[in-house]
Amino acid sequence: MPLPGETSRMGLSMATAPKLAFEYIVKKPNYCSGKAAIGATRVRVNNVVFLHKEGKTIDEIREQYPDLTHAQIYAALAYYHDHKDEIEAELAADEGADERYERRRAKALADHHGR
């Protein structure tokens, strides 16, 4: 008979991974557009991950977001590593939005100068 938190399959007992809770991370539909964020700061996890992927150190990220603690930044990075598909999709969507903005801006400038 398996212990609580374990399952039995073909007579073997296997522990199941507990669902992880991220103390500093909030993900609610009406907070930061439903994206994972560091609670009470409105800093999205993907903002921290973007800076980290750009090569920023934890201290450099704190320079950008001085209200964040080291623990909050590490929590955001831990959340990212457990939810890579989710955060990578958000980063890709943000990059696409930036590219669309730049195209609209370039067209508006060209239209303005082409009068």
What are the pLDDT digits (tens) for 59-97?
999 999 999 999 999 999 999 999 999 999 999 998 876
- Which amino acid type is present at position 65? Y
**Secondary structure E strands in 10-103:** 12-15, 25-26, 37-38, 43-44
- pLDDT score for 76: 97
Domain architecture of the chain: domains with CATH: 22-113 (1.10.10.10)
**Residue in the block written with tokens 């508006």:** 108
Please give the full DSSP string across 1-26, using - where no structure is assigned: -PPTTEEEETTEEEEPPPPP--TTEE
This prediction has a pTM of 0.70
Phi, psi (5° rounding) for residue 26?
-120, 135
